[in-house]
Each structure stands twice: as structure tokens, then as C-alpha cells.
Amino acid sequence: MPNTWEDLAESWMLTLRVGGVAESTRRDYQSTLTYFRTWLDVAHPGTGPGEVTRAHITAYLAYLQDTPTKRGVPMAPVTIGNRFRHLQQWFRWLVEDTDIYELSPMHGMRHPHVPKRLVPAIDEDDIKAILRTCGGASFADLRDRAIILLFLDTGLRRAEMAGLEVEDVDMRRQTVTVIGKGDKERAAPFGQITALALDRYRRARATRRGASSVAWWLAERTSTGLTADGIRQMLERRSERAGISSARAHRWRHTMATEWMIHGGNELDLQAIMGWETLQMAGRYTAAAAARRAAAAHTRYGPADRLLGETATRTRGRRRQG
């Protein structure tokens, strides 16, 4: 019986699950393989899982770069890079666990270039504007304010925020325990303002129909837990009401890290809070913080304003008098 795409994909997913790979990661791998197969069926009909060549993969990467997404914009380089890495894992598994390939068709291929860009932090005025949209006493306002402040204070990923359970929130120690990437557990601390918001939400939650649920965040209209997609939609709504560009979860994560480093926080502490395996990411925020401090310093020490500012002021004064 030939090895079909479906059979092999099912075996791969089983191997990943038994190996402890997170469900979200498995879904990403599955999606990438599905997208690749969809393209392959159109561009090279009838290609079996053991007939894929380096030329096929190169053509697929070019297709991803040249074809607009559903929103009409080019696919982000980081997304293309992720697709590349997922396919690498697929072919590596085929080499190691089957006799289909002796050598991966991706062997020696260079990872697509991904520019190192930091998502811009949310500025102070926009943070306050978003929080003003949930300053009321309704359940949705109390919940959303607590979520946003916890994002700001801890830099949690969206999936981590959605996965919080009641027992994960320690109000006495002011920490939340999360399971991050690689199934690694960590405790993320939060401050007094966030603690007050969480406590107000906790009391409102106790009166809801779903109060007995293990999920910490409850949906507004049902007794079920709030999903990661529900959090995404909430952030979009709050951003729209505040009249600012979308403050996605990852922007809050970047904001937390940037603010931490700007105000003198320690890189090792930030690494522990954010759940990074290495200091590389912390180093990027150190550079971003240094750039922000330099921009602030320039308002005091910039040569043009310092040397010519008074002259410009005197000139404007003479024009008014004339």
C-alpha cells in the first residue's frame, strides 16, 4: 500500500503529539503542510509525498513571496520563514521515520531572509486611550481592563493569556503561572494596579453563570472560557473604539519589554518573565531602549536647537513686533 499524503500526515501528527509538541505548534505544522499540498496539486498535479524536489520547494517559496494574501498585501517575511521551517521538520521526519527519502530535498537550502524588525511599542497616550474604553463597571469592561493591564504588566502571549485557569492566578503573590512555548512553565509577576483590576474582575466573575469553570477568563454571553480568538477580537474592538491602530497582543508584549529596558530593568529578569530561552531577544530590546533614550536626549542636546534655538526665538519675536 503506497504512502499517501493523508496517511503520512496523520503519522507525523501522532509522532509530534507523543513527542510532547504543543497542540498549537502541531496545528501550525498541519496548516503549512496543507497549504503546500494545495499549491502542489495545482502547480504539479499528481506529485506524491516522495516525489517532492528542491525545485518544487523553491518555486513554492517564490509563490508565497509573489502572491498577495486575502487582505491584498504581501505575505510577511516572518510567515514565509515559518512555512520554510515547518516544511523542514516535515521532510526531516520523512528521512528519520520512513524510507521515502535518504536525504531531505531541503538539505542545504538557505532560510529565507527575514528582516529583524521590532513591532512598534504602544505609546503612553494610546495605552491610556484604550484603557478609557473599558473604564466602566460592566462585566466586559472589568474583564477587558484586567486582560489589557495583565498584557502590559507581564507581556504574556495571547495563547498564554487565553489558557489561564483559576488556579494559575495567585493574588497573594501577585503572579500568574503560564505554560509557554516548549511546554515550559513560568511565573509572571504583576503590579498593584493590575492586581486591583484582577480583583475587581474576580468579584464580578463570581456572579456569572460560568463561575465554576476552570477558565479564568469568561466569555461575556456564555458560560464558557474566553478563547485566544475572542481575546484578539476584544483587542481589535477596544483599539477601534480608542481610535488607534490595532493594539494586537504581540504589541503589548513588545511594549512591556521595551518599557522594562528603558527604565533600567535587568535583561535576565526580563528573559525569565517573558519566557525566552536565550538573551538574544532581550538584547534586541536593549538596543530599542537605547534608541528611545537617545531620541529623548536629543531634545536636550541636539546641536541645531541648542545653537540656533535662541536665534530663531529672537527672530520670531522681532517679526511680531514689526
Cα torsion 169, 128, 275, 147 to 10°: value is 30
Mean local confidence (pLDDT), 48-71:
93
Q: How confident is the model at residue 90 (pLDDT cuts 50, 70, 90)?
A: very high
Question: CA 193: distance to chain centroid?
Answer: 24
The pLDDT of residue 213:
95
Tens digits of residue pLDDT in 208-248: 989 999 999 999 988 789 999 999 999 999 999 999 988 99
User: Domains in the chain, start-ordered, CATH in brackets?
Assistant: 5-97 (1.10.150), 124-279 (1.10.443.10)
Tens digits of residue pLDDT in 122-137: 999 999 999 999 999 9
Residue 313 pLDDT > 70: no
C-alpha cell at 297: 536626549
pTM across the whole model: 0.70
The pLDDT of residue 284:
75
Question: In this prediction, what percent of the chain has a pLDDT beyond 70?
Answer: 94
The pLDDT of residue 176:
97
Tens digits of residue pLDDT in 261-276: 888 888 889 899 998 8
The pLDDT of residue 96:
95
The pLDDT of residue 264:
86
C-alpha cell at 62: 517564490
The pLDDT of residue 302:
85
SS (H, E, C) the chain: CCCCHHHHHHHHHHHHHHCCCCHHHHHHHHHHHHHHHHHHHHHCCCCCCCCCCHHHHHHHHHHHHHCCCCCCCCCCHHHHHHHHHHHHHHHHHHHHHCCCCCCCCCCCCCCCCCCCCCCCCCCHHHHHHHHHCCCCCCHHHHHHHHHHHHHHHHCCCHHHHHCCEHHHEECCCCEEEEECHHHCEEEEECCHHHHHHHHHHHHHHCCCCCCCCCECCECCCCCCECCHHHHHHHHHHHHHHHCCCCCCHHHHHHHHHHHHHHCCCCHHHHHHHHCCCCCHHHHHHHHHHHHHHHHHHHHHHCHHHHHHHHHHHHHHHHHHHC
| Whole-number Å distance between alpha carbons of 54 and 63 | 14
The pLDDT of residue 31:
96
The pLDDT of residue 78:
86
Q: How confident is the model at residue 118 (pLDDT cuts 50, 70, 90)?
A: low
Mean local confidence (pLDDT), 39-59:
96
Mean local confidence (pLDDT), 36-59:
96
| Whole-number Å distance between alpha carbons of 315 and 297 | 26
C-alpha cell at 160: 498564554
The pLDDT of residue 320:
57
Q: What is the mean pLDDT of the chain?
A: 90
- Check: CB of residue 189 under 8 Å from CB of residue 154: yes
- Check: CB of residue 204 under 8 Å from CB of residue 143: yes
The pLDDT of residue 58:
96
The pLDDT of residue 294:
81
The pLDDT of residue 262:
86
| Whole-number Å distance between alpha carbons of 23 and 139 | 30
The pLDDT of residue 311:
54
| Whole-number Å distance between alpha carbons of 287 and 268 | 15
Tens digits of residue pLDDT in 170-204: 999 999 999 887 778 899 999 999 999 999 999 99
| Whole-number Å distance between alpha carbons of 291 and 268 | 20
The pLDDT of residue 1:
46
The pLDDT of residue 314:
56
C-alpha cell at 93: 521526519
Tens digits of residue pLDDT in 275-303: 888 887 777 777 777 777 787 788 888 88
